[in-house]
Structure 1
């Protein structure tokens, strides 16, 4: 509605309420799509979603620009779920070993609980490449790890260290190993064996990095007891 007295244009409250309703409906439809993928797999069809929510396909599409937009919103919701699981584990509480086990375990546990969503995160062009949601999520986790590693190094009196590259390498290694394991029909390791191998490998990288910097740190060292942490 236009204010004809010369003031600022007025916003129609009915329009705002309708926009909020459409946004909430879009959230509900994305949630329904995520649940459908959990149940039926990555071969996601819009017609199945329409049937699930009781809408004609043409009506459902009014909430999204196109199929690519719907796919992007679904992946974004899945990535948000993954990040919610990971972020609390990056606080580094307890011993160094327990911290490693917690971060690696959170990644593996989420994948085991949501294998179809994990597969959907990497479907098609979004599997790899700069700018993809999956690449952004990995980068975010690596940067958070690097910040915490940096805190530990500073507490040990080390101001400069190539810890960001190490964090990126660790995240890439864990994700690649888990991805290979979850898609391998003839798994050579059980879930617990994979978990133990990943934790040993991550600690080995951290230990080697610290030793190169002249520091020997026990995996049983409590992070909170390091000066400045």
Structure 2
């Protein structure tokens, strides 16, 4: 209703409450879809989601513009879950070796706990190319890593270094290796062997980068001491 005194239009509180309700209902449905994928796999049908939440399919469609909108919201929810697992590991606790193992381990642990959600992010009709939400997420993780690396390098007296490119390369390598391992029906490495290989490889890249900058560190060096 417009304000007769010429001010800003009045907002009906009932409308705002209804908007909040719809937003929460949509979030609940997305969470139910994520749970359905965890239980039944990546190629779920909307009818199965409708049955799971006890709604007619026609009512379910009212909460989303189309299937693509639902898929995008699911991907965002999955990415949020993944980032919640990764972000706390990007700290200065422990040695360099422990820090590398912690970050790589968080990635592998999340994939091991949610293999179907991980598959949903990158296979079949849900596969996404450059510029996608997943690509943006990898870039965000790489930027967080490069910020941490940059802080350490500054403490070592190296103010400028191409560390962002190195971080992007590390994230891409780890993600591609894990993705291939998950999809491989005849795995040549166990999960623990993959974890060890990734940690060795990440440290090798970091060590070579540091040496090129004139810095030599032991993987047993405590990060906080730097």
- What's the TM-score once normalised by structure 1's chain length? 0.96
Post-superposition shift, 1:123?
3.6
Residue 112 (structure 2) aligns with? 112
Check conservation: 1:78, 1:117, Cα contact below 8 A: yes
Q: CA RMSD of the aligned region, Å?
A: 1.1
The equivalent residue for 2:153 is 153
Q: Which residue of 2 aligns with 1:132?
A: 132
| SS of residue paired to 2:90 | helix
Q: Distance in 1 between matches of 2:98 and 2:69?
A: 40
Does the 8 Å contact 2:22/2:63 carry over to 1? Answer: yes
Matched position secondary structure for 2:44: coil
Residue 78 of structure 1 is matched in structure 2 by 78
Structure 1 residues 166-193: Cα deviation after superposition (integer angstroms, max 9, x where no partner): 0000000000000000111100110000
Residue matched to 1:14 = 14
Question: Distance in 2 between the 1:69 and 1:125 partners?
Answer: 14
Segments of 5+ residues of structure 1 without an aligned counterpart are none
- Runs of 4+ displaced beyond 4 Å: none
Pairing of 1:18-167 with structure 2 (within 5 A): 18-124=18-124, 127-167=127-167
Look up the match of 2:204.
Answer: 204
Q: Tell me how far 1:93 sits from its aligned partner.
A: 1.2
| Secondary structure of the corresponding residue to residue 91 of structure 1 | coil
Does residue 217 of structure 2 align to residue 224 of structure 1? no
Q: How many residues align?
A: 226
Cα shift at 1:198: 0.4
2:64·2:70 contact (CA, 8 Å) conserved in 1?
Answer: yes
Instruction: Normalising by structure 2, report the TM-score.
Output: 0.97
Matched residue SS, 1:11: coil
Deviates more, 1:62-71 or 1:116-125: 116-125
Tell me which residue corresponds to 2:171. Answer: 171
Deviations 1:148-167 (A, max 9, x none): 00011111111111111100
CA distance in 2, matches of 1:139, 1:170: 11
> 2: CA distance between counterparts of 1:98 and 1:221?
10
| Rounded Cα–Cα distance in structure 2 between residues aligned with 1:123 and 1:53 | 26
Does residue 185 of structure 1 match 2:209?
Answer: no
The answer for unaligned runs of 5 or more in structure 2 is none
Residues 121 and 134 in structure 1, CA contact (< 8 A), matched pair in contact too: yes
